[in-house]
Amino acid sequence: MDTKFEDILQEFLLRHNLTQTAFALELNIHQSQVSEWLKGKAKPGYDMLKRMAQAFGVSADYFLGLTDSEKPL
């Protein structure tokens, strides 16, 4: 599996009907940070990936592109 993070995030937002702003608010970050991720100009670090997984009840492996499943093990 060789999917880019920005593609994974875009698909996640679409599948869950989330705006960049709503996603950012849930993580307590600025919307512009999400925009940078979606453009491929930046990527979240370890701590942010962990927060994303916890906030949305999704496997961190999903956001890393290691699995197609959003479900945690």
Interval 16-51: pLDDT, tens:
999 999 999 999 999 999 999 999 999 999 999 999
Q: How many folded domains does the chain comprise?
A: 1
Q: Does residue 72 lie in a domain region? A: no
C-beta of residue 39 within 8 angstroms of C-beta of residue 6? yes
> Residue 9 belongs to what domain range?
5-64
C-beta of residue 50 within 8 angstroms of C-beta of residue 60? yes
Rg (CA), the chain: 11
Predicted local distance difference test score (pLDDT) of residue 72: 63
Q: Which of 40, 61, 38 is nearest to 49 (CA)?
A: 61
Our measurement of the distance from residue 42's CA atom to the centroid of its chain's CA atoms, rounded to an integer in Å, reads: 12
Q: Whole-prediction pTM value?
A: 0.89
Q: What is the CATH number of the domain that holds 40?
A: 1.10.260.40
* Sign of the torsion angle spanned by Cα atoms 2, 47, 39, 12: positive
Q: Does residue 19 lie in a domain region? A: yes
